[in-house]
Amino acid sequence: MLELKKISKTFNPGTVNEKRALHELSLSVPDGDFITIIGANGAGKSTLFGAISGSFLTDGGEILLDGQDVTLLPEYRRSKIIGRLFQDPMRGSAPGMTIEENLALAAGRRGWLGHISRQDRECFRAQLRELDMGLEDRLRQPVGLLSGGQRQALTLLMATIA
């Protein structure tokens, strides 16, 4: 269960660029629910995802995941328990690393030092095949060679693999 309790975020407070993006937003998402957030451009959707994943700290409110208070947990620690897809396809993966290296990192292989086991490689191949983009035959190519849509699909897989 993900619980947001009255979270708020104002960018650039006290300046001419001040923007109140989230105002006391509360939301409960039970396990297994698939929900869609709909809103106009600039409504605050990406800001909401940024708040949940810890891209910045909120000005107020609480964020709980399975009862654990993650409100003040830094992004790199939240990334262990929260997978995310960025709106910008260039942001969710490392372009200089190969497809299989990106997947190994996302899968959180403990102590991963550049060696990918045959078993892991087969597992990555099988999951990539489901995307039906031929990426299973490009495991050792740098992610920077992929198209925006291919890269976004890979990031979706990375966000859900663990």
Ligand X SMILES: Nc1ncnc2c1ncn2[C@@H]1O[C@H](COP(=O)(O)OP(=O)(O)OP(=O)(O)O)[C@@H](O)[C@H]1O
Tell me which residues touch Mg ion (CB under 5 A). Answer: 45-46, 87
Residues 6+ apart with CB under 8 A from 34: none
Shortest distance in whole angstroms from residue 48 CB to ligand X = 7
The alpha-helical segments, DSSP class H, found in the chain are: 45-53, 75-78, 99-106, 118-129, 148-160
Judged by CB under 6 A, which stretch of 43-51, 64-72, 103-111, 125-133 contacts ligand X?
43-51
Q: Which of 45, 78, 121, 125: binder of ligand X (CB under 6 A)?
A: 45
Shortest distance in whole angstroms from residue 43 CB to Mg ion = 8
Q: Which is nearer to ligand X, 36 or 41 (CB)?
A: 41
Reference 32, options 3, 64, 69, 2; nearest CA is 2
Quick one: DSSP state of residue 98? B
Shortest distance in whole angstroms from residue 9 CB to ligand X = 8
Please calculate the CA angle 15-75-53 and round it to the nearest 5 degrees.
Answer: 80
Q: The tokens 């030092």 sit on which residue?
A: 113
Shortest distance in whole angstroms from residue 40 CB to Mg ion = 10
Total residues at the site for ligand X (CB under 6 A)? 13
Rounded to the nearest 5°, which phi and psi values hold at 51?
Answer: -65, -45
Q: The tokens 């663990």 sit on which residue?
A: 162
Q: Does 51 bind ligand X (CB under 6 A)?
A: no
Judged by CB under 6 A, which stretch of 42-50, 76-84, 103-111, 135-143 contacts ligand X?
42-50
Quick one: DSSP state of residue 135? G
Q: Which is nearer to ligand X, 15 or 119 (CB)?
A: 15
Judged by the rule CB under 6 A, the positions of this chain that interact with ligand X are: 11-12, 19, 21, 39, 41-47, 87
